[in-house]
Amino acid sequence: MNARDTVIVPIHKAGYPFIAIFILITIAMAVFIPAPFGPSLGWVGTIATAWCIYFFRNPYRVTPDKEGLIVATGDGVVHMIEKAAPPPELEMGEEPLIRISTFLNVFNVHVNRVPVAGKITKLHYHKGKFFNAALDKASLENERQSAIVETKDGTQVAFVQIAGLVARRILCFLEDNQEVKTGEQYGIIRFGSRCDVYLPKGIEPLVTVGQLCIGGETILADLNSEEKARTGTKH
């Protein structure tokens, strides 16, 4: 990666229609609305268009290559780490597993990435409500896309895209039986949301509540480690 890659960031293809709409509206306001309102609205539209481009940015990520690492599926802050049963549609049983919930605000990168390498064995879309994604009930009541990836040794890791108060559309490009790599892009959520990862039984989290995660890079857990759950201190 060179210096240019940190300045000129790729845009996710899902953002092109929105960016085009923002540009057209901005031009229409600036041209067809008479002064003094037209020019002022044109500047407002320009700022909104710039934000839209920023929202759909899709920066390069460097994923650790060590086998068994579970990485963050999205950018954002770890909002909750607690035990909870996986979504019922995944049919993984009712035994609580450690769930790591990452909250994505409207300024985070919203491209989602696969947590661990393996095969996609389950996909399910649930049409739900749009509560604030930071609320605990959002995990079961909000619109969501749930998935299971099974590693080559049979370990199952569940991960979920959850729509939030502002988000109204979840895009998932995964297919059943698809072979995936750790950190590989698989979807995007528009415009504010949450990502949950359910760790297998006996696996401890290597992140703490309040920690900032980078999708595809931050290590949430290690399937081949016996390290105890980490703690953190806010400075």
pLDDT by residue (tens digit) across 53-92? 988 899 999 999 999 999 999 999 999 999 999 999 999 9
- What is the structure's pLDDT at 2? 55
Percent of the chain with pLDDT over 70: 89
Same domain, 97 and 151: yes
Q: How far apart are CA 175 and CA 69, in angstroms?
A: 22
Q: How far is CA 133 from CA 50, 154, 186, 225, in A?
A: 25, 31, 20, 31
Same domain, 16 and 100: no
Same domain, 98 and 203: yes
Work out whether the CA dihedral 86, 61, 18, 40 comes out positive or negative.
Answer: positive
Is the pLDDT assigned to residue 3 strictly greater than 70?
no
Q: What is the pLDDT of residues 132-154, one digit of tens each?
A: 666 666 667 678 999 999 999 99
Same domain, 208 and 183: yes
Q: Which domain holds residue 22?
A: 3-55
Same domain, 214 and 98: yes
Q: Per the domain annotation, does 61 fall within a domain?
A: no
* Tally of domains within the chain: 2
Residues labelled catalytic: 193
Q: Per the domain annotation, does 87 fall within a domain?
A: yes
- What is the structure's pLDDT at 190? 77
Q: Per the domain annotation, does 214 fall within a domain?
A: yes
Same domain, 165 and 95: yes
Q: How far apart are CA 161 and CA 189, in angstroms?
A: 7
User: What pTM did the predictor assign?
Assistant: 0.87
Q: How far apart are CA 79 and CA 38, in angstroms?
A: 42
Nearest residue to 53 via CA among 12, 6, 112, 7: 12
* 3-class SS of residue 8: coil
